């Protein structure tokens, strides 16, 4: 789904990271159905994600503009999936 992400979010904003398992059971479900784990990126523009307060901080701030991009991604993944 990388081409869809690059088209919707902009190729310069899409980063492919190393695999991360964390504490999620997602990989188990993805054995049965194709899956994709995405970090949407809610750090405000211009703020360094490395130094931004984490989601457990009272200073945490989510840039809700990312919700529009996330919605567009989900819609386009559904529309593009049969062609990928």
Q: Which tens digit of pLDDT belongs to each residue from 5-36? A: 999 999 998 988 887 766 678 778 888 887 88
Average pLDDT over residues 44-68: 90
| Total number of residues shown for the chain | 84
And the tokens for 84? Answer: 């990928």
Structure-token match 């750090």, residue found: 43
Task: Check: CB of residue 73 under 8 Å from CB of residue 8.
Answer: yes
Report pTM.
Answer: 0.73
Burial class of residue 5, CB neighbours in 10 A (0-12, 13-18, 19+): buried
pLDDT of residue 9: 92
């Amino acid at each position: 789904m990388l081409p869809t992400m690059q088209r919707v979010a902009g190729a310069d904003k899409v980063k492919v990271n190393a695999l991360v398992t964390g504490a999620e059971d997602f990989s188990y479900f993805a054995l049965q159905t194709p899956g994709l784990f995405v970090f949407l990126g809610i750090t405000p523009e211009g703020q360094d994600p490395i130094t931004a307060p984490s989601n457990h901080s009272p200073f945490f701030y989510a840039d809700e503009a990312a919700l529009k991009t996330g919605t567009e991604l989900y819609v386009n993944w559904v529309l593009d999936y049969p062609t990928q």
